[in-house]
Amino acid sequence: MPKTKTRLPNPEEQATLRDAVAWVNNLLAEEYQTDVRLTGTMEDIPNLHTMLGEGPFTDDPEAELKTFGIVFGNVLARELGLRWVIHRDDEGTNYALQYQDTELLVFPCEVISARLEEGEEIDEINLEAILESLRESLAGEAANKKRRD
């Protein structure tokens, strides 16, 4: 039986989440010469689409995708009422978003990578559609939880 554990991020892991936002904000300022900064809301999605389509910006595209996943995760967290957790299982340790006190987890750092592995082009990934699909799934989960309680 696989061992799993989910916990809140420690201070170092919280710093990683903040650093991702800072890196993307710096990219917006330096590369795009804009005063726009991330808000953790739907307003971030068009900028994420643009940056994903025009990247990579470093020699480590995989790390960039993780960073953009964290930034997208902040949008999901705010829009869907999720919280960041650290999830560890036999596969490793990952940042995840948890829905209330359930075992329902979303792995935003893997969302983009998984679609690329499935053959989608980076500019075909529709972050708004992902968010709305998750919103519908969570609404269904909330209804099921209410019936169980």
Q: Looking at the 3D structure of the chain, how many domains does it have? A: 1
Phi, then psi, of 92 in degrees rounded to 5: 140, -165
Q: What is the pLDDT of residues 65-124, one digit of tens each?
A: 999 999 999 999 999 999 999 999 998 999 999 998 888 899 999 999 999 999 999 989
Bigger pLDDT: 38 vs 138: 38
Model's pTM, two decimal places?
A: 0.92
Is residue 44 pLDDT above 80, yes or no? Answer: yes
- Domain span at residue 45 reads 5-148
CATH at residue 137: 1.20.120.1090
Stated as kind and residue range, the H or E segment containing 21 is helix 11-30
What CA–CA distance (Å, rounded) separates 1 from 3?
Answer: 7
Residues with Cβ within 8 Å of residue 29, at least 6 apart in sequence: 35
- What is the residue type of 15? A
What residue spans of 31-126 are helical by DSSP H?
45-54, 61-80, 108-117
Residue 140 or 64, more confident = 64
Distance, in Å, from the CA atom of 105 to the CA atom of 124, rounded to the nearest integer, reads 24
User: If you average pLDDT over every residue of the chain, what do you get?
Assistant: 92
- Residue bearing the bigger pLDDT, 1 or 146: 146
Question: What is residue 31's predicted lDDT score, i.e. its pLDDT?
Answer: 95
Q: Which pLDDT value is given to residue 97?
A: 97
